Amino acid sequence: MKKYKLALVGATGVVGRVTRNVLEEYDLPISEYKFFSSSKSAGTKITFMNREYVVEELTESSFNEGFDYAIFTAGGKVAEKYAPIANKNKCIVIDNSSFFRMNKEVPLIVPEVNMEEARRHNGIIANPNCSTIQAVVALSPLDREYRIKRVVYSTYQAVSGAGLGGIQDLESAIEHYVGNTKHELRKFPYEIFNNCIPHIDDFTDDRYTKEEHKMINETRKILKRSNLPITATTVRVPVFNSHSESINIEFEKEFEINDLIETLKKAPGIVVKDDIDNNVYPMPIDTNNQDKVYVGRIRRDYSVKSGINLWVVADNTRKGAGANAVQILKELMFFGTLEN
């Protein structure tokens, strides 16, 4: 089998570090790796697959070296500038930022849901928002079986979703609480420790946040349901890692609860953890470092004719970011790209 050459852009950030870990675990047919960052982190030494690498500064000439693939974990401005440069050098880009997600020419991919679309790419593949990824893994099999009529999202999102600054805000607040040490906020507008902040990303003119719009619009694109009624409230909570979501779904078709649970159990990428007699349900502490999406608290919504409530939890830095990108990469390497 062919051996590939891979570039990881944003290698020293939170998602970049997780992506490196996932790449080590998956051990794909890659003969050469290169790690890139901004000038601020360039020169950092990292250990990867028992070998020391020096992180290089990303420049306009970085992709002259003949990469087959690149995973970008460095934000929208970096993707906007450098993904087209990579493409000109015949490098396929899997981008974790929001920049390309709603571009009609760019597939927005969760492998368990719509991998076939990724194989018809034009050089760039977008990784969805972390909270969207875990949601659509659960929604997709139910939409195929019962036809979703409406979705209500309420999210409880970990601080790792805000990057290193979010993690540091929670860490330093705990240290301040325990030892009365000096504490300054780096990321959030308010204290996150012992608090919930109903504000993720910027507010828009309609009083929603950009994060809420991402979940709404990305879900529609991935499920190919452009007019699907969806609403969302996204909240940051004092949890280090793994997002939780309460998802209320109304269906067009009626269902039997046991049949619906079986549909979820048979779906790819899902672990049903739902034994209320023994207090078994998904929680963030159970899903860290996992690539599956955990679903529990499955119960009817009696306020509508055909409705359900789900509790969905997943590691937002792995399945919600790094692992999803590496899973896309793996599928492309083993099954290839389709001709447009």
Closest CA to 75 of 99, 94, 105: 99
> Is the same domain home to 327 and 218?
no
pLDDT at 117 over 50: yes
pLDDT of residue 338: 57
pLDDT tens column, 203-260: 999 999 999 999 999 999 999 999 999 999 999 999 999 999 999 999 999 999 999 9
Token digits of residue 229: 């009624």
pLDDT band at 131 (very low <50, low <70, confident <90, very high): very high
In a domain, 184, yes or no: yes
| Residue pLDDT, tens place only, 281-291 | 999 999 999 99
Banded pLDDT at 335 (limits 50, 70, 90): confident
CATH number at residue 154: 3.30.360.10
Provide the b/e sequence for 92-110 (b: ≥16 CB within 10 Å). bbbbbbbbbbeeeebbbbb
Average pLDDT over residues 116-138: 96
The alpha carbon dihedral of 19, 24, 26, 28 has a sign of positive
In a domain, 340, yes or no: no
**Which one from 91, 196, 199, 243 is the annotated catalytic residue?**
243
Mean pLDDT, rounded, for 146-169: 97
Catalytic residue selected from 130, 183, 196, 199: 130
The total of structural domains in the chain comes to 2
Do 172 and 29 belong to one domain? no
> CA-to-CA distance for 151 and 219, rounded, in angstroms?
10
Q: Establish whether 130 is a catalytic residue.
A: yes
pLDDT in tens, 11-66: 999 999 999 999 999 989 999 999 999 999 999 999 999 999 999 999 999 999 89
* 340 pLDDT tier (thresholds 50, 70, 90): very low
Domain that holds residue 119: 4-127+321-335
Let me know whether 114 and 9 are in one domain.
yes
Please check whether residue 229 is in contact with residue 149, taking contact to mean a CB–CB distance below 8 angstroms.
yes
Q: Is 243 a catalytic residue?
A: yes
Of the chain, the percentage scoring pLDDT greater than 70 comes to 99
Query: The CATH number of the domain where 21 resides is what?
Result: 3.40.50.720
Pair (276, 308) in one structural domain: yes
112 and 161: one domain? no
Considering the domain boundaries, does residue 266 fall inside one?
yes
pTM: 0.95
